[in-house]
Structure 1
Amino acid sequence: MTTRTDSSPAPDPTPAPAAERRSWLRDHSELGVCVLLLALGVLVLTDALTMDVDITQRGPVGPKTVPIVVGIGLLVIAALLAVDVLRGGRGEAEGGEDIDLSEPADWRTVLLLSGIFLGAAVLIEPVGFPVAGALLFWGAAFALGSRRLDRDPLIAAVLSLITYIVFDKLLGVPLPGGPLMGVL
């Protein structure tokens, strides 16, 4: 038997309810994926069931079949995953080959890439795909750490032009050409 020599009160062995709830949520964080899958399944099913299609279809499989199957699949997977998590199943931590998983996320890079992507989406109509794509490719290279200002813009422009020509001219997928519309 040990006796306490200091005058501080003994710690309370019962945790606070908020801390207990937080701990339970942290231990069952995979339920967030279940909620996401459930919401996505409901969205897909709602969209599929309210789809306006021509009644005169040929064959037993119509345009609603695949979205309904996908929506039901999402709901089933959400339910099975929730049951597994509530029974104590845990997802295995991802083992990265070249990633130190103990390091925090690089939010600066994520925000830079998001801004570059949104900027390209806004610019694609007024300046065309070749220019917006070049800015997208060069900006992504810059955000990911490349600082070769002599090489990166040239590679981005060539890659964007090749992508434009392959999709717009060879595959017939119309892309906005912008000022280059008459040139190419």
Structure 2
Amino acid sequence: MTAITWLRERSELGVSALLLLTGVLVLADVTVAPRSGNAADPLGPNAVPVLLGLLLVALAVLLTVDVLRGGRGEAEGGEDVDLTAPTDLRTVLLLAGVLVATAALIPLVGWPIAGTVLFWGATYALGSRAFPRDLLIAAGVSLATWLVFDALLGVDLPGGPLMGAF
């Protein structure tokens, strides 16, 4: 058995390596750029990143041990998924374009408008052609998320032209 065949039969080790790398990066970030806390927070701002990094490393180790002992992930068994169908590259590229456009638009026009482009573009890419309805729903969802995050949760999302309206 060649090394390539051995690795192909244990492809879950790739997921394990990704988990380990992510965990190590999170832990490295905490040690390289520590955040300072205050007296009101006994755990400090490093507690969650350290916990997350340690959990990712632990999951990577557990998955590696399981795979090396013969454990295998179950193949997709969804009855509504045709595993032999090719990837719809047009849809994937449209969705990728919508994500890139949204990232570019947020600093220029704010979240409410960029979010509308994101939500409407995703519905269009996935096949909906009810333009006025989809646009109104996308605008409503985008505006609602902006209001919840900006006004209620205190997370500053750029408002663009709506900045002074609410």
Question: TM-score under structure 1 normalisation?
Answer: 0.76
Deviation at 1:88, TM superposition (A): 1.8
8 Å CA contact 1:49, 1:68 repeated in 2:
no
- Based on CA coordinates, which of the two structures has the bigger radius of gyration? 1
Give the structure 2 partner of residue 7 of structure 1: none
Shift of 1:162: 2.6
- Identify if the C-alpha distance between structure 1 residues 172 and 78 changes in structure 2 by more than 3 Å, giving closer, same or farther: closer
Larger mean CA deviation between 108-117 and 172-181 belongs to 172-181
Are the equivalent residues in 1 in contact too, given 2:37–2:44 (CA < 8 A)? no
Query: Could you list the runs of 4 or more consecutive aligned residues of structure 1 that deviate by over 4 angstroms after TM superposition?
Result: 55-60
Which residues of 2 match residues 3-14 of structure 1 at below 5 A?
none
- Which sections of structure 1, spanning at least 5 residues, go unmatched? 1-16
Q: Is the 8 A contact 2:111 2:160 kept in 1?
A: yes
User: Secondary structure in 2 aligned to 1:150?
Assistant: helix
Q: Which has the higher helix share?
A: 2
What residue in structure 2 maps to residue 40 of structure 1? Answer: 22
1:108 to 65, 87, 90: 90
In the superposition, the TM-score normalised over structure 2's length comes to 0.83
Q: C-alpha offsets along residues 2-59 of structure 1, whole Å, 9 cap, x if unaligned? A: xxxxxxxxxxxxxxx8xx4432222111110111011111111111223334487578
Gaps of 5+ in 2: none
Q: Percent of counterpart pairs with the same letter? A: 58
Q: Match of 1:100, SS?
A: coil
- Say what the alpha-carbon RMSD is for the aligned residues: 2.5
Secondary structure of the residue aligned to 2:66 is helix
1:84 aligns with 2:84: no
Instruction: Provide the rounded CA distance (Å) in 1 between the counterparts of 2:107 and 2:41.
Output: 40
Return the offset for 1:137: 0.9
Question: How many aligned positions are there?
Answer: 166
Cross-structure match for 1:156: 138
